[in-house]
Amino acid sequence: MTMVIGLTGGIATGKTTVSNYLKELGYSIIDADVIARQVVEPGTKGLRMITDTFGEKVLTSDGQLDRQHLAQLVFTSSEQLQQLNRILQPIIRERIQELISTSKDPVVVIDVPLLYEQHYEDLCDVVMVVSVQPQQQLERLMNRNHFTMDEAKNRVASQMPLSSKERLADVVIDNNGSVEETRQQVKKWLNQVVRP
């Protein structure tokens, strides 16, 4: 029986840092963002459904999904964001379930930014939330994506509040300090839960 660890956080909280560390430790990672890109490649059902809904304007000249243009559309309209999620989330979920059920590994990590929003906790044995202070989250997001404060706030506001995720989590990793401090918390938790 495979143990499923759900890994989530908010945008720019350091979830990728934790995911990369788990990969370094030899854990099998199922990355929802990678799957989200795969299911909208040219010729896929996902891309066809997106263009049917949002029009050809969301495609680049060579038929790829223009992610930046689509993001501008959906992150300024909660209705359009919901439309996009209704298209993509069932396809992504189906693929994640398939990867879990065919895994031969004793432990798999599903790295899902919208884990609680899309109810992936149903597939997990335990959930780890990577968290930072709100101000640090905004600063990291502005630095990383070259967003204005308003753009950063819109992105953060499109997700469930971190405080709510923390309350639901089995473990909260505090990523306000150094990378090494974060790694130590993850390692300590894994030793207690995975290798009792």
Q: Is 70 exceeded by the pLDDT of residue 156? A: yes
Report pLDDT for 75. 79
Write the pLDDT tens digit of every residue in 97-149: 999 999 999 999 999 998 998 999 999 999 999 999 999 999 999 999 999 99
Q: Looking only at Cα atoms, what is the longest distance across the chain?
A: 54
User: Strand ranges (DSSP E) for 41-118?
Assistant: 107-111
pLDDT band at 194 (very low <50, low <70, confident <90, very high): confident
Residue 4: its H or E element: strand 3-9
pLDDT band at 87 (very low <50, low <70, confident <90, very high): very high
* End-to-end CA gap in the chain: 16
Distance CA 15, CA 131 (A): 8
Q: At what angle do helices 179-193 and 15-24 cross, to 10 degrees?
A: 60
Q: Is 60 exceeded by the pLDDT of residue 196? A: no
pTM, two decimals, is 0.87
Write the pLDDT tens digit of every residue in 61-71: 999 999 989 98
Report the mean per-residue pLDDT for the chain. 93
Q: Quick check: 136 and 162 in contact, CB under 8 A?
A: no
pLDDT band at 76 (very low <50, low <70, confident <90, very high): confident
What pairing do the DSSP bridges indicate for beta strands 3-9 and 171-174? unpaired
